[in-house]
A and B are shown apart, each in its own frame.
Chain A
């Protein structure tokens, strides 16, 4: 039995966990909003309910999971320890969580004050996170593709949130802003500069590590993050200057980069050496297939005016990218990150006298599989609802509710498992366990 200490510098368990526990609640709120609004929500991407739902998913669910995951990933992959992790996590979690709620309420009630408060809360929460994470990465070499990607993603997040704050404060007409144009740039940076860059940076490590695949080609991994940021910067400038043709070409190039990442990941997954495909691997495959499909829909709408004129295509593209791509990948990652957190904290609490149980026992495989299938059903119904809202909105809302209730239950199962094991350790060891 090994009697050595391991991860004493990991952030306290409660720091990343709070993000993972509340994220499913926002997706549950989004499903309730879908059930309350009914088919009208899908009349256009610009309906107040569609905008509120989008931000419950992007800020409430995705941003929370991504920030929590980054807090955990930075020390492990970069040796970068965020200062005062618990205090920073509490502050960021509170600001982003309240901000997401206020933002959804602001869209639904068209309340300028709520927009301003939401912008202040989300902006300050993200600023604190970016400063803390940026500080921890100071002096860390960017030779590694993942570390380079994490740094670039922080820039992408800052640009996305700054543009979002501008939009939220300009909506009451207090100053002139080309709203549609800035919205499109905000969305491009949110999906490309933050989400795709972060997802790829994490994928460069976790896909080979957990899915037993060959590594991503060095030439691709090395260039992905900064090429994406360069393309998005040039596209934003061309779009603002109203150079339509160069802007369209640059946007297409950025979309093709994301598609290349998704295609490459699928190709690597086909060469996986894992004896049994697990839920995380299936989740990632679905995420990459949906990302490819979203890119195809976007490119088709750019090339064919007959598609671009239809109001369904942005909704279809949005559901594919957000629910199919990002929610699938982040949910799959939660099933690796949360058991790892539980295992590593128990390992430390046991101090070699009590060994932590196997990671696979933290959340039962069957419970994970059930949640994953519920998510896939919800995704299929949401996609159908974008085309035939009258038929599918209510089943889609119910399925989204069920899949996220299952996700919340699975994260809670991990917490209960941790508490049960901690009590056992406290009973077996003379020194009380203190990790939160």
Chain B
């Protein structure tokens, strides 16, 4: 999962809560049907997963060697 593979990248590692959640939801709101959003976070975003599920998104999570949690999000296939 690299930045190159994502259409939109949101680096939320230095943001104070709840900014990462707010900005992720805003980015998802304008995400095209075939686009992907990569969110970089300092830890596992459990509330975000539930929000993604509710709003019809699919996601893949990967923990990078420096501890960053990378979540690649796309619309669920219809």
Contact A79 B49 (CB under 8 A): yes
Interface of B is mostly: helix
Contact A2 B29 (CB under 8 A): yes
CA distance A215 to B44 in the complex (A): 14
Contact A209 B17 (CB under 8 A): yes
- Interface of chain B residues 20 through 63 with chain A (CB within 8 A): 21-22, 25-26, 28-29, 42-44, 46-47, 49-51, 54-55
Chain B residue total in the interface (Cβ 8 A): 21
Chain A residue total in the interface (Cβ 8 A): 28
| Per-position 1/0 for A1-19, Cβ under 8 A of B | 1111111111000000000
Known: A3-B29, A6-B25. A205 touches B55 (CB 8 A): no
Shortest C-beta distance, B59 to chain A (Å), equals: 14
| B residues in contact with A3, CB < 8 Å | 29
| B residues in contact with A215, CB < 8 Å | 42, 67
Contact A77 B16 (CB under 8 A): no
CA distance A210 to B43 in the complex (A): 13
Contact B18 A359 (CB under 8 A): yes
CA distance A210 to B20 in the complex (A): 12
Known: A4-B25, A7-B47. A340 touches B54 (CB 8 A): no
| B residues in contact with A6, CB < 8 Å | 21, 25, 47, 50-51
| B residues in contact with A377, CB < 8 Å | none
A interface residues, Cβ below 8 angstroms from B: 1-10, 75-79, 144, 205, 208-210, 212, 215, 273-274, 340, 343-344, 359
10 residue pairs A–B, Cβ–Cβ below 8 Å = A4-B54, A5-B54, A9-B47, A79-B46, A205-B43, A209-B16, A212-B14, A212-B16, A273-B14, A340-B18
B interface residues, Cβ below 8 angstroms from A: 14, 16-18, 21-22, 25-26, 28-29, 42-44, 46-47, 49-51, 54-55, 67
Give me 13 other A-B pairs in contact (C-beta within 8 A), A5-B51, A6-B21, A340-B18 excluded.
Answer: A1-B29, A4-B54, A6-B50, A6-B51, A75-B46, A76-B47, A79-B44, A210-B16, A210-B17, A215-B42, A215-B67, A273-B14, A340-B17
